[in-house]
Structure 1
Amino acid sequence: MGSMENNHKILAKESEAFATAARVKYYDIVIDSGRGAILTDVDGNQYIDLLASASSTNTGHCHPKVVKAIQDQAAKIIQYTPAYFANSQAARLVPRLAELAPMSGPVEVAWGNSGSDANDAIIKFARASTGRQYIVSFTGAYHGSTYGSMTLSSVSLNMARKMGPLLPGVVKVPFPDPWDKLPDESEEQFVDRYFKMFKLPFETYLPVDEVAAILIEPIQGDGGIVKTPPEFMKKIYQFAKENGILFAVDEVNQGMGRTGKWWSIQHFGIEPDLMSVGKSLASGMPLSAVIGRKEIMESLGAPANVYTTAGNPVTTAAANATLDVIQEEHLLERSAKLGEKAKQFFEGEQKKYDFIGDVRMYGLDGGINIVNPQTGKGDTAATTRIMYRVFELGAIIISLRGNILRFQPPLVITEEELDRAFGMLDQAFAEEAAGKLTLPDNADELGW
């Protein structure tokens, strides 16, 4: 890493007016530009991006086709509110998204600006179409930062602290985290135990005929990149269908090819009734969508879910180009192929270093637990030392839940870049094993 002088100057000036609540702190850098999987800061230092802007730039930074689509559209018209009139880009995108949706039968789309308001829209449409009030979500989930989506979430206490009362009618049930599996407990016993906990509210205080929807991330993102056990998913889906409850999925983090399929729910062979999409939908431009079965989406009339800028010409042009890039460059297949390579690398490291616990990889989408070898429990200090060393060596990786390395590079990352990143990770692991790494001075400030 070279000089950080300009980074520090800009950050010092910004900090005078920037709210603490608006950024999860990791590294003192100011990103100036990006291309593909490479980021450059204001001092000219380059980094391999292993985060893809929180999985919002699956097509990489400044993909030429996406850039051209944005530039060409901006020269025609930047904004006219889709709340009143259609625009040519959005009108083209709607049927494309409907066709890609993992749902049979007629499907409709409504726009939003972020994954947060797409999840708010799920609440609206679910309540309207069922005439029921309650929404069930899971611990460890991250669904967004608007009041509705924040209420659905439970990945950080700072998403609830000092802000109550939150949205009424939301009930959270335990997510089956793999590290909560008991010693000698079989997968079947584990699933049965968590399904029993899932049903407890319905048997004690939550009338099943007043529940509108169950919302789940098929693979939790900020909760640690954790796939829902398939048998558990099957059980809650059947429960929903048997009781007239809508089954909704959040694909904001895990959709758009991230897991080697268009949507993470496709790993389960289940068709949702509603789904939220965002982040990489427009390669990071502010665009989201709620997609659902037509009869559900027609349960509300305008202006129940309109936003002045949602679905505007520039963001939808970027989304159309994004779909083109994913299809033309076969990024689903690329994610699956390079994800297997990443899995082999991390599993090889796991054999070398006893502080690497569970390794989860679903396409280019991974969570790597860093643990205390003596206790098997998560080791936040070691995780921070490792990720900070990787940053010093020239790659961007962050932690989740304190002790999980989040591995989500752009799907366009080259194999040479991936190999270089693996070299940096291996060096950081080796130095941690040798006791050579120290915590940064501001370690207590870093991470979720």
Structure 2
Amino acid sequence: MRDVSKSLDIVARDERFIAPSSRSPYYPFAVASGSGSTLRDADGNEYIDFAAGAASLNTGTCHPRIVAAIKEQAERLLCYTIGYMYEESSVELAEKLAQITPGDFPKKTAYGLSGSDAIDGAIKFARKYTGRSGVITFKTAYHGATYGALSASAISLNMRRGIGPMLPGFHHFSYPQCAKCPWHEKPESCSLACLEEIKTAFSLYLPPDEVAAVIIEPIGGDIGLVVPPARWVRELAALCREHGILFVSDEVQQGMGRTGKWFAIEHFGVVPDIIAIAKSLASGMPLSAVVMRAEIADSLRDPGHCITLAANAVCCRAALETIKIIEDENLIEKSVRTGENIKAKLAEMKKALPLLGETRGLGLTIAQEIVDENGEPDRGACAKICYRCWERGLIITFLSDNVLRIQPPLVITDEETERALEILRESIEDYRNGLIGDEVLEFARGWA
């Protein structure tokens, strides 16, 4: 369809010199440049971005204000570690994060470079503050690839196989997936049996006074962008308060306005004790933040979470400008409007395309399931459709076997959205007509 010879050469060189553990491939897309929601590969082909760099580019690729802020700061100071010294941009950003995160109480921030180290930091702070070691997380959760974050995760055998043991003290319970409820309950009469699992553990083998924290994805990301019932989230938070357990919200993927709120946990009326932020915090620059109650932050003394290059001035200025752009361009409100538009158009497409299953999500985090004629998950179809979308000019990925992950930059235009959905429709039609060969499955492995 398109000439991608240069891209294929980059892929071949990559396979020779880069460890395969660093990528789950979908198609041979070698990105070279971009602007907003438009990307270009090494061959000069243009694509609409429905992935936002794994939800790390809420302001789009190379937003001119982000680029200007980075250039201006880079000419003054790239980095001089705040591990020993002081630098104003890190203070300004911490002040701003205290304003936009939920909770009317004093807060402090600890910085890092990635979502994984933010989760590691949250674990350390929770254990130190409470004097407890236990950490509750959820089956199907993905929290990162460092040992602490990986120990908290429970989704992929490939990530754990052959590198154990994991860190001790982690306990995994069922995350609510109402459409696939193992207890066969209905939302209107649900007894929250998944929450009872934790209560039963507290009564039998897991003393609640030895649990430091519960870490939750307010939207289950890599399981397929699953939105839990608000009642479950609120009662889980109440259970934490009852037992003095810290409530940690992992906002690495869903934060910074993506879901129609600054942070996804705000949809549930719950104020967390600790929030982990990364990805879009600095519009793709390497920066993470653990924002927490001040007394929790003060419990861990130096150098308990000291990372040499964390909060470098360039990344902090990018993050400050990111927040200003989200505010100035009303991107939180726009994410709601654009997301509702996408869901409405997908609902219309379903009338003619029965392999489009459940659509769900908040703001511009949208999951579209691909199913077979029996309504069962169809990973092969999903992978083929994803690959054909790339061939036609749309960057999109999939999760959890059969879920198309629709997470475009918040700056995407109505025209780009319309064209992207048309490419998706055309790609589905190609699949239905048998025009996508099995050979693409050799490359389109996706998240394992």
- Tell me, yes or no, if the aligned pair for 1:191 and 1:232 is still in contact at 8 Å: no
Tell me how far 1:177 sits from its aligned partner.
Answer: 1.4
> Which residue matches 1:28?
28
Alignment of 1:112-261 (within 5 A): 112-181=112-181, 185-261=185-261
> Which residue matches 1:387?
386
Tell me how far 1:434 sits from its aligned partner.
Answer: 3.4
Residues 24-63 of structure 1, C-alpha deviations (whole Å, 9 max, x = no match): 1111121100100011011001111100000000000000
**Structure 1 Cα separation of the partners of residues 80 and 269 of structure 2:** 39
**Structure 1 Cα separation of the partners of residues 97 and 178 of structure 2:** 33
Tell me how far 1:303 sits from its aligned partner.
Answer: 0.6
User: Is 1:283 matched up with 2:283?
Assistant: yes
User: Is 1:86 matched up with 2:80?
Assistant: no
Tell me how far 1:178 sits from its aligned partner.
Answer: 2.8
Residues 96-148 of structure 1, C-alpha deviations (whole Å, 9 max, x = no match): 01111111211111101101111001111101111110000011111111100
Amino acid of the structure 1 residue aligned with 2:5? E
> Which residue matches 2:400?
401
Tell me how far 1:377 sits from its aligned partner.
Answer: 2.0
Pair 1:211–1:364, CA change in 2 (3 A): same
- Tell me, yes or no, if the aligned pair for 2:219 and 2:264 is still in contact at 8 Å: yes
> Which residue matches 2:424?
425
> Which residue matches 2:354?
354
In structure 2, runs of 5+ residues without a counterpart are: none
**Structure 2 Cα separation of the partners of residues 184 and 149 of structure 1:** 31
**Structure 2 Cα separation of the partners of residues 233 and 246 of structure 1:** 14
> Which residue matches 1:323?
323
Residues 182-240 of structure 1, C-alpha deviations (whole Å, 9 max, x = no match): 69732154452212223232222111110000000111112211111111111111111
Amino acid of the structure 1 residue aligned with 2:229? P
SS at match of 1:276: strand
Amino acid of the structure 2 residue aligned with 1:94? A
SS at match of 1:78: coil
- Tell me, yes or no, if the aligned pair for 1:384 and 1:439 is still in contact at 8 Å: no
> Which residue matches 2:97?
97
- Tell me, yes or no, if the aligned pair for 2:183 and 2:193 is still in contact at 8 Å: no
- After TM superposition, the score normalised by the length of structure 1 is 0.97
**Structure 2 Cα separation of the partners of residues 189 and 213 of structure 1:** 29
User: Is 1:434 matched up with 2:433?
Assistant: yes
User: Is 1:263 matched up with 2:284?
Assistant: no
Tell me how far 1:346 sits from its aligned partner.
Answer: 1.4
Pair 1:151–1:184, CA change in 2 (3 A): closer
> Which residue matches 2:304?
304
Tell me how far 1:438 sits from its aligned partner.
Answer: 2.8
SS at match of 2:257: coil
Pair 1:128–1:188, CA change in 2 (3 A): farther
- Tell me, yes or no, if the aligned pair for 2:50 and 2:407 is still in contact at 8 Å: yes
User: Is 1:49 matched up with 2:44?
Assistant: no
- Tell me, yes or no, if the aligned pair for 2:380 and 2:441 is still in contact at 8 Å: no
- Matched residue pairs, number? 447
> Which residue matches 1:336?
336
Tell me how far 1:350 sits from its aligned partner.
Answer: 2.4
SS at match of 1:220: coil
Amino acid of the structure 2 residue aligned with 1:286? P
Amino acid of the structure 2 residue aligned with 1:388? Y
RMSD, aligned CA: 1.4
SS at match of 2:299: coil
SS at match of 2:439: coil
**Structure 1 Cα separation of the partners of residues 229 and 351 of structure 2:** 24
Amino acid of the structure 1 residue aligned with 2:37? A
Structure 1, 74-83 or 345-354: larger mean CA deviation: 345-354
**Structure 1 Cα separation of the partners of residues 430 and 149 of structure 2:** 40
Tell me how far 1:435 sits from its aligned partner.
Answer: 3.6
Residues 391-424 of structure 1, C-alpha deviations (whole Å, 9 max, x = no match): 1110011110111000000000111110000111
Pair 1:143–1:182, CA change in 2 (3 A): closer
SS at match of 1:124: helix
- Tell me, yes or no, if the aligned pair for 1:112 and 1:287 is still in contact at 8 Å: yes
**Structure 2 Cα separation of the partners of residues 74 and 168 of structure 1:** 42
Pair 1:133–1:184, CA change in 2 (3 A): closer
Amino acid of the structure 2 residue aligned with 1:410? P
**Structure 2 Cα separation of the partners of residues 66 and 361 of structure 1:** 28
**Structure 2 Cα separation of the partners of residues 339 and 438 of structure 1:** 32
Amino acid of the structure 2 residue aligned with 1:411? L
**Structure 2 Cα separation of the partners of residues 103 and 82 of structure 1:** 26
**Structure 2 Cα separation of the partners of residues 260 and 384 of structure 1:** 28
**Structure 2 Cα separation of the partners of residues 330 and 201 of structure 1:** 44
SS at match of 1:172: strand
Amino acid of the structure 2 residue aligned with 1:56? S
> Which residue matches 1:18?
18
**Structure 2 Cα separation of the partners of residues 183 and 161 of structure 1:** 29
Identity rate of aligned residues, in percent?
A: 42
Structure 1, 91-100 or 348-357: larger mean CA deviation: 348-357
Tell me how far 1:445 sits from its aligned partner.
Answer: 5.4
Alignment of 1:47-86 (within 5 A): 47-86=47-86
SS at match of 2:192: helix
- After TM superposition, the score normalised by the length of structure 2 is 0.97
User: Is 1:365 matched up with 2:359?
Assistant: no
